[in-house]
Amino acid sequence: MVSNVHPLAVAFVAVAMAAATTHAAAQNVAQIKRASGGDNCVGCNLFQADFSGKTLKGKTFSHARLRQADLSLGVFTASRFDHADLRDVNFYGALAGHADFTGADLRNASLVGGYFQAARFAHAKLDGANLGGADLIGALGLNQAMLSTACGDAATRLPSGLDVPACK
């Protein structure tokens, strides 16, 4: 069957569909601004947000999308990140003691030098996460199977009886 559709029309439709798909996954600037100002943001799209150096203690980011966000050197003590998409997030030097990461996706995240004492990690995904120098003493819900897919170094502090492979 021969089609009478112009090749440029086909290309236009393909580009429009790709743009629509990309836009749907893009960050929500209004939600980032609200969260950055200290509002709770349950289920928000905070993709690639910059919360570096922010103090957001006790805030709720449950079920939020924070993929590739920068939370380095921030203060997130007792904040809730349960069931959040935290893939590729930078928690370098962050203070997140007593935070809730239950069911969070922390694959390929950097927790380097962060403070996560007494944080909850039950059912979290840590595949490829870098825990180098992180303080996870008293963290709840961590198990050896989870840690075996992450990496750390000699300065990584873990609950008694757990270890993590060295980062390569």
> Are 106 and 87 spatial neighbours (Cβ–Cβ below 8 Å)?
yes
Output the tens digit of pLDDT for each of the chain's 168 residues: 445 555 544 444 444 444 443 344 688 999 999 999 999 999 999 999 999 999 999 999 999 999 999 999 999 999 999 999 999 999 999 999 999 999 999 999 999 999 999 999 999 999 999 999 999 999 999 999 999 999 999 999 999 999 999 999
| Residue 149 pLDDT | 98
Q: Which residue has the tokens 């239950």?
A: 102
Across the strands, what pairs with 120?
100, 140
Q: How far apart are CA 100 and CA 18, in angstroms?
A: 35
The pTM for the full model equals: 0.85
Residue 25 pLDDT: 62
Q: Which domains does the chain have, with CATH numbers?
A: 41-168 (2.160.20.80)
| Runs of H (alpha helix) within the chain | 7-25, 29-36, 144-147
Our CA angle for 114, 120, 122, nearest 5°, is 120
Report residue 167 CA to chain centroid gap. 19
d(C-alpha 168, C-alpha 161), whole Å: 22
Q: What's the pLDDT score for residue 26?
A: 84
Q: Are 36 and 55 in contact (CB under 8 A)?
A: no
User: Is there a contact between 83 and 65 (Cβ–Cβ < 8 Å)?
Assistant: no
Instruction: Give the Cα separation of 62 and 78 in Å (integer).
Output: 12
